[in-house]
Amino acid sequence: MRKPAKRKGRKSQVSTVESISAPIGGWNARDAVANMSPVDAIQLINWFPTTSDCQLRGGYTTYGTGITGAVETLAVYNKMDGATEMFAVDDNDVWDVSTSGAASAQSATVTDGKFQTLNFGDGTNNYLMMFNGVDSPLYYNGSTWLSVTGVSSPALTGLTSSSIVDANEYKGRLYFIEKDTLSFWYLSAKAAGGALTEFDLSSFCDKGGYLMWMATWSFDSGDGPDDAAVFMTSQGQVVVYRGTDPANAADWVLVGVYQLGKPIGRRSHIKYGGDLLAITQNGVFPLSKALQSADIDSTVATTNKIENAFNESARNHGSKFGWDCVNLPLRSALIFNIPESEGSISVQYVMNTITKAWCKFDSWNASCFQVYNDELYFGGDTVVQNAWSGTSDDGSDIVGVGKTAFNYFGQVSSEKRFTLFRPLLQVNGSIEFLTGFDIDFSDNEITGTSTYSVTDKAKWDVDNWDEAYWAAGLSVTKQWLSPVPNVGYCVSGGLKVNSNDLEVHWIANDYVYESGGVI
């Protein structure tokens, strides 16, 4: 017996759930938006990418006050007993900021606060030495500040001392950079003063210019026989020597002359592990890789993954004072200060030294940075701030904004309807946040201000056990949200958090979507 055929009904749409890690790959300002890793970020502001999550950065607190001008230099003095002191310099004076509170002015002659500094011991004294190419060099021995001239004790003779703009210790000998020339000058070994001898590098520097700085390139992370003396010119030429005595041709050997991009400012280098990083208009280059080729290869730059952003900042702001770099080991962070408006507004490009992932910090308006007793500090207008400290920017909210890389979820040709979005956060209190969706490479601002609340924690020996709230550390916040707009081929999830009293970790992002046919 024949039976009537069953009528086929419409199939119900099947939803797919995808979970992607928070953007621990960091800020990507190099690749096309259609060609990024799913764990990268198009935008990552005030979120620091770690090995397992993205953490809302720490804030800053006021540390040193009473300074009359904008702080342009922070310098640390290392005592012979291992103790340290910190000093801030503006265009008027040197200020002792070794402890928090009101700074005390020192007896030092200063008309320009933009100093280059180093510590050096001659066997009798340990000195903090400061040079700016305008004022006479300043030596501090732990109790007294000395303006070093041709008749002071110690003295520098053979060269007008106020023309020294930078100095470096290399294999127990002091070397000095003369401002606006291609000459360096040097002293006898282990001497803090005396007769200076000139060494002219102009015959090796066919592009002219002048010396910007000298640094020691330590291949093994410490002083040793394989160390090299590196001189950088304003035209980006790098002159490398090995040896111990420039007066002895057999003991002062030219390794080579190389070409990098033009350096950005006097503070455009930093020792980093067993390498030396040079901050140039083309990016930040480790010399161990950059000098292996006659061509400038941007792929070896430390800043390669944020190449477009860094190079744009160099073009727009390279002439401004405030470019600086500091290594903060306790946070596994390498921080580059970018002055967007000299003396008032700056941002920082920050790299995780373990994963090499990048992010951007704002609202730290710094002109210089320094690590003192393992803590991070920056100089601002009449103040020194303790940075990456606490959960607010001196009482103001820290605003974290992130946008993930666009993701097709393996279906490039299928249109999708994204129905739900859930960022997973770990926080130590109640929080509300804003999310946003960018569909098919759109770029929309995450608008509004997210709000949050923190339950007051109980105080031991004050509150009642059965009545008060006893905090249990971080808890996971999971909240599904409906995105708008929500139809397209690929998506970027956005998150915005405002906080001044919370620890916030961004762990993952969950998506629910329905797939359509091939169009």
User: Mean pLDDT throughout 88-116?
Assistant: 97
**DSSP for residue 33:** T
Categorize the per-residue pLDDT at 11 as very low, low, confident or very high, splitting at 50, 70 and 90. Answer: low
Is residue 454 pLDDT above 50, yes or no? no
Strands 101-102 and 60-65: parallel
- Count structural domains, the chain: 1
Domain that holds residue 34: 15-58+400-518
Q: Which helix (H) or strand (E) holds 317?
A: helix 307-317
Is 436 part of any domain? yes
CATH number of the CATH domain containing 456: 2.60.120
Whether 109 and 135 have beta carbons less than 8 Å apart is answered as yes
Categorize the per-residue pLDDT at 2 as very low, low, confident or very high, splitting at 50, 70 and 90. Answer: low
268-297 confidence digits (pLDDT tens): 999 998 899 999 999 999 999 988 776 678
Categorize the per-residue pLDDT at 482 as very low, low, confident or very high, splitting at 50, 70 and 90. Answer: confident
366-383 confidence digits (pLDDT tens): 999 999 999 999 999 999
Share of the chain above pLDDT 70, in %: 90
In this prediction, residue 14 carries a pLDDT of: 80
Distance CA 133, CA 362 (A): 31
Distance CA 400, CA 19 (A): 21
Q: Which of 12-26, 142-156, 262-276, 355-369 has the lowest mean pLDDT?
A: 12-26
In this prediction, residue 215 carries a pLDDT of: 97
Distance CA 285, CA 298 (A): 8
Q: How far is CA 436 from the centre of its chain?
A: 28
| 491 phi and psi angles, rounded to 5 deg | -140, 150
Distance CA 276, CA 274 (A): 7
Is 228 part of any domain? no
Is 289 part of any domain? no
User: Mean pLDDT throughout 312-327?
Assistant: 96
347-365 confidence digits (pLDDT tens): 999 999 999 999 999 999 9
Q: Using alpha carbons, list the distances in angstroms from residue 344 to 128, 129, 230, 268.
A: 28, 27, 33, 20
User: How does the average pLDDT of the chain come out, rounded?
Assistant: 91
Distance CA 479, CA 497 (A): 14
Q: SS3 for 95-140, per residue?
A: EECCCCEECEECCCCCCCCCCEEEEEECCCCEEEEEECCCCCCEEE
Whether 163 and 133 have beta carbons less than 8 Å apart is answered as yes
Is 145 part of any domain? no
Closest CA to 334 of 314, 312, 305: 305
Q: Residue 206 carries which side chain, given as an amino acid letter? A: D
Structure tokens at 420: 């739900």
